Amino acid sequence: MPSVATSEGTENGAPSSPTWRRERLLRIGSSSTLRAGPSNGGVASSPVDSISGLPIVTETSSLHSNEIRRSYGTLPSPSRRWKLKGPTFATRRGLPQPPALDVLHRIASNPATPHNIHSTLKDFAFARLSNARPISAYDDPKNINNDEPEPDVRTNGIRVWYSSFTSIDWLHDAIKDSVRFSKLRKHKSIRSRIRLAFDKSLGWLVVTIVGFLTAVVAFLIIRSEQWLFDTKDGYCATGWWKAKRFCCPLDDTDGFHRPRHVEDTCYSWKTWSYFFSYGQGGHGENIVNYISYACIALTLALISCLLTLYLTNSTTFVTRKESGVQSIHPGTPDDVKDQMTPIAGQKRKIMHYAAGSGIPEIKTILSGFVIHGYLGGRVLFTKSVGLALSVASGLSLGKEGPFVHIASCIGNIVSRITAKYENNEAKRREILSAACAAGVAVAFGAPIGGTLFSLEEVSYFFPPKVMWRSFFCAMIAAITLKMLDPFGTGKLVLFQVTYDKDWHGYELVPFLFLGLFGGVYGAYFSKLNYRWSKHVRDKTWLGKNPIVEVILITLLTSIFCFLNPYTRMGGTELVYELFAECRTGKTTHSGLCVVNPGSFEHAWPVVQAILVAMVVKGALTVITFGIKLPAGIFIPTLGVGACAGRVLGIGMQWLQMRNPDAQIFRSCNGDLDCIVPGLYAMVGAAAALSGVTRTTVSLAVIMFELTDTLTYAVPVMLSVLVAKTVADALEPKGIYDLVIELNHLPYLDSKHEYIWGHLQISEVTSRDVPVIIVDEENTVKNLGRKLLALTSSGANDSGFPILRQDRNDDGLRMVGYIGANELEHALSILADNENDEVHFHVADTHALMSSSILSFAEAQEQPRATADPFNFTPYMDQAPLTISNNSPLELLHQFFTKLGARYVIVTDTDGLCMCKCFSPFPPCIDVHLDEGVIEKKTWLAFVADLEEKS
């Protein structure tokens, strides 16, 4: 018997290299062993496999750099319209029929199987009739070697690791975790009970570690950003590592615990003009200060951009979990690329994982899609360091949004300590949801708001158990950050304030106007940023030169922000000053408190400076958000809204001072400090952020936690609801949804409602998909040809319906489904046995079950069924999710959004999925399904086109 080598199933569960699996599959029937072609893309230094000649990699992502029409490999280009009538396997992806693959010609002898793939893997071989079974690295063994049967164990087939930009099978992962938990509860010994108790508490332990580490990383980022930001102005003479806040004494004279900003009162802080002996004042001092300010800002932004571009380029991320034939890296030979690479319209766009806020990508991942490397250690390091540098450069961006991405990276890394979360993508997303809550908790000092933000904006699946753990994780993060005290004030965030005055009924009118402003600003900011990114950044030379774009925007920012004292401040410091409460007759808080609010001469210069800061901040944020460095949108948006609110508050204060006895101000009872401009700034900030991000409940709770009171619940709620309503009327999508659309991320929004009209399921069903017929001779070579033909067409998240001859008529009946990844895994094990036949043992039934459950007790009746590596039955889903062809599209949409189905089989009204063969002689080549298959990506492309047309 020929030996069969395993590609997976090592002791530690790690899969083998995708390069090795690709080489084995491509040489099935080939005339020579494939060798690596010329180096491309700077990969000449990569180690090369001595047998295959291909570079040895540890993780890969099939994302390319030289495309014409780019996407992230998930959605078709918006220019391609969906063909609603009778889409075929080729037309539904906009692809021609795949060409013949020359590498599949059979030869007399096959190359030897490589046995030294990686030093950490223990290769082993087993005979065809041995008791061992090649298992998946993703799923555990299905009780193969246990002597006692477990008839209660139910599953829907073995799954292998998900490749990048493929959807996970929520149903399979839920069933798998149920099976795992039932095995733990089966035994009643003391040891088993301890293991069960530890398993139940494992999730709480993981979220505790995640919350603690998130706070530690946030503390380091905040302290680093403060010091780097202040270095643009000078240095501390008592310690160069101190920021101005910790170098200068704190000022408590006005009732607020805040640092001094007047440099002549802080003798320890030295400006760069003083360092260069230009401290006598005049133009020389200003020129030196500006040059040092601009040069340091440019240096910080440039370093952040370089780290983002070269450390988190998506083409440099390679994982063993990746598919071997669906992931083509730059070192692949050109002849293999020509056969395996999809056409230009399906090529994937290069992503820079540390760029932006990361929230749109986190939403995509939590919705059930996989992006390998996006939540890894390298991205965590780059995001953390790059975020401190980019914020310190003075660019119009914030660090609060990226904290969600950083916390998710920590959650993903910590979850790897246990197989419970490492080997179950659905369970791992529970930890990621809790990590998102911790990220918002350390960003705003709001653990309750962070939990609600994870529920409202980010998470896709949020049961009560996840809510409790998210709340606990956010609490641990907030407590840890409170103990670390990053600002030296005892507060979690710099702009946390407390007001001691109540609001009045007449103020609801200006609060309403602030809501209108927030809605209009949010809608048009989203529109302008989307158009700038799509038509300027992506279609001009700026898109090809991201470093030049960062340099130009940094120079532009330094020019406009240096002269105005409010634009020159850091984002969080500006928000704090705008939120702060004033006392009559005191010019504190950087001059924002007017000495005589009733005097136009005193109030107008302050209002003018705030308006300039608002316009400059808003315009710079439009062109800054989206550049290739870590950048958030929260703080710039809060700053713009706070500026508008502060101006309105000063105006209301001026009206009261000029007309203290007016009817509208009678509720103040003569109190000239009745109106608090800082309260208006807080309400305006909440309205603007709601208009941009479209968050409501979580944002209101965050504002309550920032002010330590529920006194202002009604003003904040009113402005937030008005802002969201107005913004939705002007632009239905928020900034995160527009980024998802711009980047073609595979996000299926469960909250969006569609109008289906006269559309039917038949208009989205694929009927000419490639199939496997169990009654024919299915050799390793034939199945390899079908697999390569499928993957070369760009269907990287597809599979094969499995058909059988019907006993009652001449048609074919669907009896199961096997994914492309599972078939690749099984074939890579048998690559040296190209002429041997593989088998699919199916139950003797005339109808598919409507559930996604299959008892392996029936499969155990087959002798040696689970011991034979040529039996592909364990990789099959023998009970796929089905839907009748006369069902409404609303029901199908619920299958994908609520059940998380990866594919749905369409049956006729009798519950059958029949097929016909139009080939005159066997084997059957021309197969036509009476109904067909609907995959999640097919459905996603369908609703995306439907939304665009509507």
Quote the CA–CA distance of 388 and 232 in Å, as a whole number: 14
Quote the CA–CA distance of 518 and 752 in Å, as a whole number: 23
- Strand 4-5 relative to strand 125-126: parallel, antiparallel, unpaired? antiparallel
| Tens digit of each residue's pLDDT (9 = 90 or more) over 785-808 | 888 888 777 666 788 888 887 776
> What per-residue confidence (pLDDT) applies to 164?
84
| Tens digit of each residue's pLDDT (9 = 90 or more) over 502-549 | 888 888 999 999 999 999 999 999 999 999 999 998 888 888 899 999
Quote the CA–CA distance of 408 and 443 in Å, as a whole number: 14
Quote the CA–CA distance of 376 and 672 in Å, as a whole number: 56
Please give the DSSP secondary-structure letter assigned to residue 750: S
- Strand 258-259 relative to strand 914-917: parallel, antiparallel, unpaired? unpaired
Quote the CA–CA distance of 496 and 708 in Å, as a whole number: 8
**CB atoms inside a 10 Å sphere around CB 521:** 25
**CB atoms inside a 10 Å sphere around CB 313:** 18
DSSP string, 330-375: TTS-HHHHHHHSPPGGGPBPP-BTTSB-SHHHHHHHHTTB--TTTT
pTM to 2 decimal places = 0.83
Residue 611, CB-side half-sphere exposure with 13 Å CA sphere? 11
Quote the CA–CA distance of 19 and 21 in Å, as a whole number: 5
Please give the DSSP secondary-structure letter assigned to residue 767: -
DSSP string, 122-142: ---EE-TTSS-----SSSPP-
Place of tokens 């906009």: 94
Quote the CA–CA distance of 343 and 95 in Å, as a whole number: 7
Please give the DSSP secondary-structure letter assigned to residue 234: E
> What per-residue confidence (pLDDT) applies to 669?
76
**Sheet order of strands, 903-907 included:** 882-884, 903-907, 932-935
Cβ partners under 8 Å of residue 747, min gap 6: 360, 363, 364, 367, 369, 740
CB 735 within 8 A of CB 529: yes
Whether the CA torsion 407, 171, 755, 73 is positive or negative: it is positive
DSSP H or E run through 445 = none
Q: What residue spans of 3-66 are helical by DSSP H?
A: 18-26
Place of tokens 């309205």: 687
> What per-residue confidence (pLDDT) applies to 501?
81
DSSP string, 795-818: -TT-EEEEEEE-SSSSSEEEEEEE
CB 915 within 8 A of CB 774: no
Quote the CA–CA distance of 514 and 108 in Å, as a whole number: 79
Residue 402, amino acid:
P
State the chain's mean pLDDT as an integer: 76
- Per DSSP, the three-state class of 666 is helix
- Per DSSP, the three-state class of 636 is helix
Tokens representing residue 818 in the block: 């096997």
Domains in the chain, CATH or no CATH each: 507-582+602-743 (1.10.3080.10), 761-840+868-948 (3.10.580.10)
Cβ partners under 8 Å of residue 653, min gap 6: 594, 597, 603, 675, 677
Quote the CA–CA distance of 388 and 224 in Å, as a whole number: 6
- Strand 772-773 relative to strand 799-805: parallel, antiparallel, unpaired? parallel
- Per DSSP, the three-state class of 486 is coil
Phi and psi angles of residue 199, each rounded to the nearest 5 degrees, phi first: -65, -40
Give the residue ranges of the chain where pLDDT is below 70. Answer: 1-15, 29-137, 140-155, 249-265, 277-284, 326-348, 583-590, 794-796, 808-811, 843-867, 911-930, 950
Quote the CA–CA distance of 882 and 905 in Å, as a whole number: 5
- Strand 250-251 relative to strand 258-259: parallel, antiparallel, unpaired? antiparallel
- Per DSSP, the three-state class of 479 is helix
- Size of the chain, expressed as the number of residues it contains: 950
Cβ partners under 8 Å of residue 460, min gap 6: 363, 366, 367, 368, 429, 750
**Strand residues in 71-195 grouped as ranges (E):** 125-126, 154-155
Tokens representing residue 783 in the block: 């199945």
DSSP H or E run through 932 = strand 932-935
Cβ partners under 8 Å of residue 488, min gap 6: 245, 246, 250
